[in-house]
Structure formats: C-alpha cells, structure tokens
Amino acid sequence: MNMPLKTELTDQTAASLALHRQEVILPTPAELKQEMPASDFVIRQVSEQRQAIRRILQGSDDRTLIVMGPCSIHDEVAALEYGRKLKALADAVSDRFLIVMRAYLEKPRTTVGWKGLLYDPERTGAGDLNGGLRRSRRLLLNLAAMGLPLATEALSPFAMDYLGDLVSWTAIGARTTESQVHRELVSGLPMPTGFKNGTDGGIAVATNAMKSASHPHHHLGVSATGVPAMITTRGNPDTHLVLRGGRGITNYDADSIDRAVSALAEAGLSTAVMVDCSHDNARKQAERQLDIAREVMAQRRAGNSHIRGLMLESFLEPGRQDDGGDLRYGCSITDPCLGWVQTEALIRSL
Ligand SMILES: O=C[C@H](O)[C@H](O)COP(=O)(O)O
Ligand SMILES: C=C(OP(=O)(O)O)C(=O)O
C-alpha cells in the first residue's frame, strides 16, 4: 500500500510554487483497484445495469428510471442502511421503476464548503484524499454487493478512474455542464450520463454538452498507472438532459418539458428527459419533491413518453442540518432531503 508522501520541491521556481500548493502522493487508479478489486460478478452486474438504463433511455423498456438517494454521503453506516431499504423497495417496484441509488461522493459548491467524502471524509477541512478514495471505493463496493445500481456526480476528471467501474449512471452537474473538461470526460465514460441544465435554467449548455460528449476527443490526462497521458475518447452515445430548474424558475411543467424536447429534437439529440425534482425545481424545499414527482408522472401517464426519469434527494431522516456537533443520524448535511417514510410512500404511490 502506498503511504502518503509529501514531495520536496528543490529548485527555486519549485520552491516558490510550493508556497502555493503541496502535493500528497496518492495510489494510482490501478493500485487502488488492485487493493480493493471489484469481483467479476459485480463487474457483470454493473454492465447489465448500464444496459438496463440505456434501454429505458432509448425507449425499449417503458419503466421509469429513478435516481434517488442522499444529496451527499457523509456517514457510510447511514448510507448502507439507506441502501438496504432502497434495495428492498427497488425490488418491490421493479415492474414499474428502475431505481438507482445516488451515492454522491463529490459535491460541487457555489463558493466553498465541504466537498464530499472523497475529499475530506472526516470533515476536518484538512482534506484527506488517501482516506477518501479508499472509503469511497469501499462504500461503492458494499452498496454494489447489495445489487443496487449506483449513481455519482462526476466532478473531478480523475475520480472516475478510481471508482467508475462501480457506477451505472452519472451526472454532470449544473455548475460543470458548460466545462470542456467535463464534456471530454463524458466522451470517454462507459455509462449513460445526464447533463443538468445550467444554474440559470438555460438548457443550451446541456444540449451543447451532449453534442460535444458524443464526439471523440483527445485530452490531457493520467493513465491507469499514474503517468501523464494523452487520452483519446470514443464519444458517448448515451447522454441525456436533466431538468433541474434554475435561478428561481422551475422547468418540470408540461410547457417547459415540451420546449426542452423540441430543442433536443432540433439539435438531433436524444429527447429522453429526466426531471430532477429537487434543486431549483424544489426551490430547496425537500417536500416540494413529492408534488413535483406526482405531477411529472401524471404528464408521463398522459402520454409524454419523452419523460424517462426522475431524480429525488432522499435520506433516512427528512430535512438537513448544519455540520458540526452532534449530528442527527441519517440526515443530510448538504441539501434538504425527503425522509425514508415519505420516500417509500411516494414511490409506492407513483
Ligand atoms: O446539491 C447540492 C448543492 O445544491 C450544491 O452542491 C451546491 O451547494 P452550495 O450552494 O451549498 O455550495
Ligand atoms: C449538485 C447537484 O445538482 P445540481 O448540479 O443540479 O445543482 C446534485 O444533484 O447533487
């Protein structure tokens, strides 16, 4: 196992650079995967789950894809308890829904804040990617062992190299959909990926992202063995739009969805749409997700076959809490979530 190692920078330029940044050596993706391998069974399961998601997005399976779970994971014990409950629910409704668990390990921040288990698992502010990578991979392995398909937000362009083999669906968030680096990343990802609309509610950034990510790219990266590499990607044919509202405006109503579908069709892109019932659509009030999910499913039942998925933020306990002191078990420390009781009742009622 690689021990953390602070590099000594020797020449003068490097010394001045060292004032601005420090380096802690991490395991390479290949080393971490060797230390914590995914079994052949899990690899096959992930591949089948990705295929099942693709079938829904392409319309050959008319179930609804639901990506749901905590806004962020800060406590692995609570995440595993949530995963067990979710798996039982997912099995019970599998004739109507394909449920994928949000196992979000990286959080994009509007300015600053805790960036997720991957970066700072003890939430001390000091950062610990060595610990975060291992704890993140262990958690995904344990959740995958339950048979759950897993979703993450792909934020760091490098994190997927460590964890992507366990992920069945991923999102590019509202704050990064416009980023060329993220579009290049998605172009090389092996799983279906949703691009969120921008934080201002505009969908053009997402349709541009889908076009860009469907093409091959060459970009600067790091190989599985940790050396600089030119990465050549194939283009990802399995991207779709996620409507999450923006700047006080919601976009889950029938007119907004129609406008989005027309824009996608005009651009020659997949018209499969997922509605994120949380974020700006819920105006950060978790309980609004209940009505939004019902309203969107009603549109679907009324014949809007472009609606293929929902996203929900849900955890064991409702609401959110500020981090620090005695934390309420199973309650979000980032955005507010539905509690489990509300979540289960909602899914069964849909
Ligand atoms: O989904 C979570 C948050 O909306 C996102 O990470 C931004 O959070 P922030 O505005 O609290 O930084
Ligand atoms: C940060 C998230 O969403 P968005 O990018 O829509 O804000 C999220 O889904 O956790």
Which listed ligand is nearest to 336 at the C-alpha?
Answer: 1
> Residue 31 domain-assigned?
no
Look at ligand 2, atom 6, and give the residue with the nearest C-alpha.
174
**Predicted pLDDT at 325:** 87
Q: Nearest Cα to 150, choosing from 75, 223, 70, 204? A: 70
Q: What is the CATH number of the domain that holds 222?
A: 3.20.20.70
**Predicted pLDDT at 12:** 65
**Predicted pLDDT at 11:** 61
Q: What is the ipTM of this complex?
A: 0.97
**Predicted pLDDT at 132:** 98
> Residue 321 domain-assigned?
yes
> Residue 119 domain-assigned?
yes
pLDDT in tens, 165-198: 999 999 999 999 999 999 999 999 999 999 999 9
> What three-state secondary structure class fits 315?
coil
**Predicted pLDDT at 3:** 47
What's the CA angle centered on 171, arms 35 and 242, to 5 degrees?
165
The answer, yes or no, to whether residue 340 has pLDDT greater than 80, is yes
> Residue 20 domain-assigned?
no
Look at ligand 1, atom 2, and give the residue with the nearest C-alpha.
335
Neighbours of 160 (CB within 10 A): 21
**Predicted pLDDT at 19:** 78
Q: Nearest Cα to 160, choosing from 180, 128, 185? A: 185
> Residue 24 domain-assigned?
no
> Over the chain, what is the mean pLDDT?
95
Q: At what angle do helices 254-266 and 204-214 cross, to 10 degrees?
A: 40
Q: Average pLDDT, stretch 253-276?
A: 98
At 1, the pLDDT band (50, 70, 90 cuts) reads: very low
Look at the chain and report how many structural domains it folds into.
Answer: 1
Query: 8 CA distance to ligand 2 centroid (A)?
Result: 38
Question: Measuring from each residue's beta carbon to the nearest atom of ligand 2, which residues come in under 6 Å?
Answer: 71, 104, 108, 153, 173-175, 196, 244, 276, 279
Residue 113 has which token pair?
A: 């804040």
> Residue 89 domain-assigned?
yes
Distance, in Å, from the CA atom of 225 to the CA atom of 229, rounded to the nearest integer, reads 10
pLDDT in tens, 321-337: 999 989 999 999 999 99
> Residue 18 domain-assigned?
no
Query: 13 CA distance to ligand 2 centroid (A)?
Result: 39
Query: 174 CA distance to ligand 2 centroid (A)?
Result: 6
> Residue 10 domain-assigned?
no
Q: Which of 67, 106, 334 to mutate to test the pocket of ligand 1 (most atoms within 8 A of CB)?
A: 334
Domain that holds residue 180: 43-345
Any residues with CB less than 8 A from the CB of 246 and at least 6 apart, and which?
174, 197, 198, 199, 200, 201, 202, 280
